[in-house]
C-alpha cells in the first residue's frame, strides 16, 4: 500500500475513524454486544437506546467524573450520521420506529482489535492444508483435458486404495489432539468470519445499487440508450461475483441433505475430547448463517424491487423534468423571498372526495345529571367491628394440617390432589388456599410450576368447581433433611 | 384482522368505499388493495358515474380518486366536483415543491422505501425561501403551520416521535407533478420578472 492510499483510508475509512475515536472501547463493546455477539439484525430505536443507557450508566459509575456525559440518543445520532457511518439508521417497511443496524466498519474495527489479543495457539498446519486444497480444487476444476482429469481421479483412487489397505492391516492413523485443535480453531474462525461477512456483502449490494442509481440519475443520453444500459445492468447485483458466490452459498444452506450432514459432522467434532472448550455458538452456527443469509437475501429482494420502480422509464423522465423545474422554482423563489406582497396562490386537488355524513353523527342525547353533594360525609365511628368483613368464610387450618401430617405418616411425600381425594374440599376456594398456606415443622410444601394439577369440588350451591394450579407436593421434613 | 386476510371473492363495495375514504395504500390497506386490483375496471365504471376516475399506481403501491377532467365538448352536462380543489399559499406551495425535490433526490440516492424528515430538517430546507424580514420565531411558526397543512392534505404523515418527524408520502409525486410544478414556476417567474423590472420594482402600490 502506498502512502496516498493509506492517507485516503486514514481520512475516509469509517472503521479507522472508529478505532481512532476516544470512546472506541465503549462503542465497540456496546455495538458488539448488541449486534455481533448475538447475530442480530436491525434493532428498534427504543430498545437500543435503553441498552445504551444502561451501558453508559454502568460505565459512568466506575469513575468519579462521568466519562460519557452525553445521552444515549445523542451518541446514537452521532454514530449514525452519514459522515460517521458506524450505524445505519432507517425506517423498515411497515414500521414507524427508527431501526439501527451496525455497518461493516464496526465489524472490521472489532476484528482488528480482537486480532491484537495474543492467541494461545496459532495453528499453521490446517491453513496449509486448506491452501493446498484450494489450489487443487482450482487446478482440477479448471482442467478441460479429459486425460488430465482422469489422471487426477486415478491418482486419488490409488491413494484411497492404499489407505483402505492400511486400515485393513490394522494400521489406523489417528489425528493427534494438537492437529484436532488446530483444525477446530480454524473452523470456528472461518465460521464466525462468515457470519460477520454477510454484513459486508449486504453493504456491497447497497453500494452496487447506489452506483446504478447514480448512473441513471446522471444519464444524459437518449431514452433508448438508457434502457439498453439499464436492461443490461438490471441484474447486476445478482450477476456480480459477490452475488453469484452468495447465491451458491445460500443454495448450499437451503439444501436439507447438506444441512444434515453439516450438523452431524459438527456434533461429532464437538464431542471430540481434544476440543476442550467448545464455543457454544458454534453448535448452531449453521442456523445463524441461515438467519444472516436470509436477511441479506431480503435486502437483495428489496433492492431489486426498488430499483425496478426507480427505473420505470416514465418515472425516470418525470423525475428529471421535475428536477429541472425545481431548480428554476428555487431561483425564482429566492429572488422573491424579501417580498411580503407576493400573492401567489396555487391550487391542488384534494386526495379524497369531500363527503360529509351528517346522519352518521349520533343524535343529541340528554344526559342525566348526577347531583353532586360536596359536603363531607364524615367518617364512621371507630367502634365498628370490621372483622366480620374478613371472616365471611373461615377455614380452620388445624384439621387440614392434621390431615397432611397423617398422610405423611404413611409415605414420605403426598400430592395435594391425593390429599383432596381422601378428604374432599368443604369450604371451597378458601380451603384450597388454606392448604397452600399451611406450614409446620413436620413438612414442607413444594410448588412445581412445570406441571399443572386440577382440583374439583362442589360448592354450597351444588355447582361443580374446577381449579387449575401448579403441582403442589407436601414433603415430610425428615425427607428434606435426608436429601 | 389477521395478518393474512382470508382470500374472499373481491368485493366492489370494499374497494370503492375505501377509495372514497382516502388514498388506498398497498401496505396499510392490504384487503382493500387486493379487492381494488381485482376489480379495477368495475371500480372505474362505478366511480365514473359520479365524475371521478381512479388512479392506481401499482409500482408505488397506492390508488386514489381524482375528478374526471372535463371532456370539453360540452355535450355532457357538467358534474359538480366531488373533490375539492385546495388553495395553497405561496409558502405552502414552496414547501410542497421542496418536499417533492427531497423525494426525487432520495430515490436517486438510496434504496430505502420511506423518506422520513425531522421537523428541523424541513425547517432548514424551507427557511432559505422564507421572507427574511420576519423574526425567526415567526418564520418557524409559519413553517410549522404549513407542515400541519401538508399533513392535512395527506402528503405528510406524522411519525409521532419526539423530533416531530414526518414521512413524505409517495402520493405527493402524483399531485406535485411536472405539470403542477411548471405552472407554479411560470407564476413565480412572472412575479420575479415584474420585481426585477426597474419600472415596476419600487413602485408597487
Question: pLDDT tens-digit profile of B90-122?
Answer: 889 999 999 998 888 888 776 677 888 988 889
Query: Which residues in chain B have their CB less than 8 angstroms from residue A204's CB?
Result: none
Identify which of A20, A26, A87, A89 has the alpha carbon closest to the alpha carbon of residue A52.
A26
Mean pLDDT of chain A: 81
Please give, rounded to a whole number of angstroms, the shortest distance from the CA of A28 to a CA of chain B. Answer: 26
pTM, full prediction? 0.63
Q: What CATH number has the domain bearing residue B63?
A: 1.10.10
Residue A158: the pLDDT is: 93
Q: What is the pLDDT of residues A149-158, one digit of tens each?
A: 888 889 989 9
Mean pLDDT, residues A325-352 taken together: 81
Q: Is B4 among the domain residues?
A: no
Q: Do B131 and A338 touch (CB under 8 A)?
A: yes
Residue-number span of the structural domain to which B51 is assigned: 12-67
Residue B55 sits in the same domain as residue B106: no
DSSP assignment letter at A396: -
Task: Tally A–B CB contacts below 8 A.
Answer: 178
Q: Is B126 among the domain residues?
A: yes
Q: Do B23 and A329 touch (CB under 8 A)?
A: no
Residue B181 sits in the same domain as residue B101: yes
Q: Which of B108, B114, B125, B131 to mutate to test the interface with A (most CBs of A within 10 A)?
A: B108
User: What is the number of domains present in chain B?
Assistant: 2
Q: Is B200 among the domain residues?
A: no
Half-sphere exposure of B129 (CA within 13 A, CB side): 23
Q: Is B115 among the domain residues?
A: yes
Residue B147: the pLDDT is: 92
Residue B23 sits in the same domain as residue B110: no
Identify which of A188, A225, A230, A197 has the alpha carbon closest to the alpha carbon of residue A211.
A230
Strands across the sheet with A43-44, in order? A43-44, A99-102, A87-90
Residue B104 sits in the same domain as residue B45: no
pLDDT value at A464 more than 70: yes
CB A286 within 8 A of CB A256: no
Q: Which three cell numbers stand for residue B93?
A: 406551495
Residue B44 sits in the same domain as residue B95: no
Give the C-alpha distances (Å, rounded to integers) separating B124 from A90, A113, A234, B128: 20, 40, 36, 7
Residue A231: the pLDDT is: 57
Burial A40-51 (b: 16+ CB within 10 A, else e): bbbbebeebbee
Q: Is B24 among the domain residues?
A: yes
Lowest mean pLDDT among A107-116, A244-253, B151-160: A244-253
Residue B102 sits in the same domain as residue B188: yes
| Alpha-carbon span A96 to A90, nearest angstrom | 10
Q: Is B83 among the domain residues?
A: no
pLDDT value at B17 more than 80: yes
Listed in sequence order, the residues at least 6 apart from A183 whose beta carbon sits closer than 8 Å to its beta carbon are A123, A126
pLDDT value at A418 more than 90: no
Residue B187 sits in the same domain as residue B107: yes
pLDDT confidence bin for B75, thresholds 50/70/90: low
A448 or A60, which is more confident = A60
Residue B26 sits in the same domain as residue B102: no
Mean pLDDT of chain B: 81
Half-sphere exposure of A370 (CA within 13 A, CB side): 3
Expressed in angstroms, the distance from the first to the final Cα of chain A is 69
Of A90, A94, A213, the CB nearest to B109: A213
Residue B72: the pLDDT is: 57
Any A CB within 8 A of B4 CB: no
Residue B30 sits in the same domain as residue B124: no
Residue B37 sits in the same domain as residue B115: no
Residue B102 sits in the same domain as residue B185: yes
CB A246 within 8 A of CB A344: no
Mean pLDDT, residues A200-204 taken together: 82
The Cα angle at residue A27 between residues A24 and A30, in degrees rounded to 5 = 140
A406 or A410, which is more confident = A406
Please name the fold of domain A3-116. Arc Repressor Mutant, subunit A (1.10.10)
Identify which of B32, B35, B28 has the alpha carbon closest to the alpha carbon of residue B18.
B32
CB A205 within 8 A of CB A299: yes
| Alpha-carbon span A123 to A111, nearest angstrom | 18
Of B60, B178, B189, the CB nearest to A322: B178
pLDDT value at B3 more than 50: no
Residue B51 sits in the same domain as residue B94: no
Q: What CATH number has the domain bearing residue B108?
A: 1.10.10.2260
pLDDT confidence bin for A161, thresholds 50/70/90: very high
pLDDT value at B200 more than 60: no
Amino acid at each position: 500500500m502506498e502512502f496516498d492510499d493509506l492517507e485516503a483510508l486514514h481520512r475516509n475509512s469509517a472503521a479507522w475513524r472508529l478505532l481512532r475515536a476516544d470512546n472506541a472501547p465503549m462503542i465497540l463493546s456496546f455495538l458488539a454486544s448488541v449486534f455481533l455477539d448475538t447475530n442480530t439484525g436491525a434493532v428498534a430505536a427504543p430498545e437500543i437506546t435503553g441498552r445504551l443507557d444502561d451501558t453508559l450508566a454502568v460505565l459512568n459509575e466506575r469513575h468519579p467524573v462521568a466519562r460519557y456525559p452525553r445521552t444515549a440518543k445523542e451518541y446514537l445520532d452521532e454514530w449514525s450520521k452519514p459522515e460517521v457511518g458506524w450505524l445505519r439508521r432507517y425506517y423498515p417497511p411497515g414500521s414507524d420506529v427508527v431501526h439501527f443496524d451496525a455497518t461493516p466498519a464496526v465489524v472490521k474495527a472489532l476484528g482488528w482489535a480482537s486480532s491484537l489479543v495474543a492467541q494461545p495457539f496459532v495453528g499453521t498446519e490446517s491453513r496449509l492444508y486448506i491452501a493446498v486444497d484450494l489450489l487443487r480444487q482450482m487446478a482440477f476444476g479448471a482442467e478441460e483435458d479429459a486425460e488430465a482429469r482422469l489422471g487426477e481421479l486415478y491418482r486419488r483412487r490409488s491413494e484411497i486404495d492404499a489407505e483402505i489397505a492400511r486400515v485393513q492391516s490394522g494400521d489406523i492413523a489417528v489425528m493427534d489432539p494438537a492437529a484436532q485443535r488446530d483444525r477446530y480453531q480454524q473452523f470456528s474462525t472461518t465460521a464466525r468470519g462468515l457470519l460477520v461477512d454477510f454484513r459486508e456483502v449486504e453493504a456491497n449490494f447497497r453500494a452496487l445499487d447506489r452506483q446504478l442509481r447514480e448512473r441513471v440519475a446522471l444519464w444524459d443520453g437518449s431514452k433508448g440508450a438508457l434502457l439498453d444500459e439499464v436492461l443490461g445492468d438490471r441484474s447486476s447485483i445478482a450477476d456480480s461475483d459477490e452475488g453469484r458466490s452468495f447465491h451458491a452459498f445460500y443454495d448450499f444452506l437451503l439444501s436439507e441433505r447438506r444441512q444434515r450432514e453439516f450438523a452431524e459432522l459438527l456434533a461429532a467434532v464437538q464431542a471430540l475430547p481434544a476440543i476442550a472448550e467448545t464455543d457454544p455458538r458454534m453448535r448452531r452456527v449453521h442456523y445463524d448463517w441461515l438467519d444472516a443469509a436470509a436477511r441479506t437475501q431480503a435486502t437483495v429482494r428489496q433492492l431489486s424491487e426498488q430499483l425496478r420502480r426507480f427505473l420505470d422509464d416514465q418515472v425516470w423522465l418525470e423525475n428529471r423534468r421535475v428536477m429541472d423545474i425545481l431548480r428554476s422554482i428555487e431561483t425564482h423563489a429566492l429572488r422573491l423571498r424579501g417580498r411580503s406582497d407576493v400573492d401567489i396562490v396555487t391550487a391542488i386537488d384534494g386526495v379524497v372526495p369531500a363527503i360529509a355524513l351528517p346522519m352518521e353523527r349520533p343524535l343529541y342525547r340528554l344526559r342525566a345529571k348526577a347531583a353532586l353533594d360536596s359536603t363531607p360525609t364524615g367518617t364512621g365511628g371507630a367502634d365498628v367491628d370490621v372483622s366480620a368483613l374478613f371472616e365471611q368464610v373461615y377455614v380452620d387450618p388445624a384439621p387440614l394440617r392434621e390431615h397432611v401430617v397423617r398422610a405423611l405418616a404413611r409415605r414420605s411425600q403426598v400430592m395435594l390432589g391425593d390429599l383432596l381425594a381422601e378428604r374432599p374440599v368443604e369450604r371451597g376456594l378458601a380451603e384450597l388456599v388454606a392448604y397452600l398456606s399451611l406450614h409446620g415443622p413436620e413438612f414442607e410444601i413444594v410448588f412445581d410450576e412445570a406441571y399443572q394439577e386440577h382440583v374439583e369440588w362442589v360448592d354450597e350451591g351444588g355447582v361443580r368447581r374446577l381449579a387449575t394450579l401448579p403441582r403442589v407436593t407436601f414433603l415430610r421434613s425428615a425427607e428434606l433433611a435426608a436429601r | 384482522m389477521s395478518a393474512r386476510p382470508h382470500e374472499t371473492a373481491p368485493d366492489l363495495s370494499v374497494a370503492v368505499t375505501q377509495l372514497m375514504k382516502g388514498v388506498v395504500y398497498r401496505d396499510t390497506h392490504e384487503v382493500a388493495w387486493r379487492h381494488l386490483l381485482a376489480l379495477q375496471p368495475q371500480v372505474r365504471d362505478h366511480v365514473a358515474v359520479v365524475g371521478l376516475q381512479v388512479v392506481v399506481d401499482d409500482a408505488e403501491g397506492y390508488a386514489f380518486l381524482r375528478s374526471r377532467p372535463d371532456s370539453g365538448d360540452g355535450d355532457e352536462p357538467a358534474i359538480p366536483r366531488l373533490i375539492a380543489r385546495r388553495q395553497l399559499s405561496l409558502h405552502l406551495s414552496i414547501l410542497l415543491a421542496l418536499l417533492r425535490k427531497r423525494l426525487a433526490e432520495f430515490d436517486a440516492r438510496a434504496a430505502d422505501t420511506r423518506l422520513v424528515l425531522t421537523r428541523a430538517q424541513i425547517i432548514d430546507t424551507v427557511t432559505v425561501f422564507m421572507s427574511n424580514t420576519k423574526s425567526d420565531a415567526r418564520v418557524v411558526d409559519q413553517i410549522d403551520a404549513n407542515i400541519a397543512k401538508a399533513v392535512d392534505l395527506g402528503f405528510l404523515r406524522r411519525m409521532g416521535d419526539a423530533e416531530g418527524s414526518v414521512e413524505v408520502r409517495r402520493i405527493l409525486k402524483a399531485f406535485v407533478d411536472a405539470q403542477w410544478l411548471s405552472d407554479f414556476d411560470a407564476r413565480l417567474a412572472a412575479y420575479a420578472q415584474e420585481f426585477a423590472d426597474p419600472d415596476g420594482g419600487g413602485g408597487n402600490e
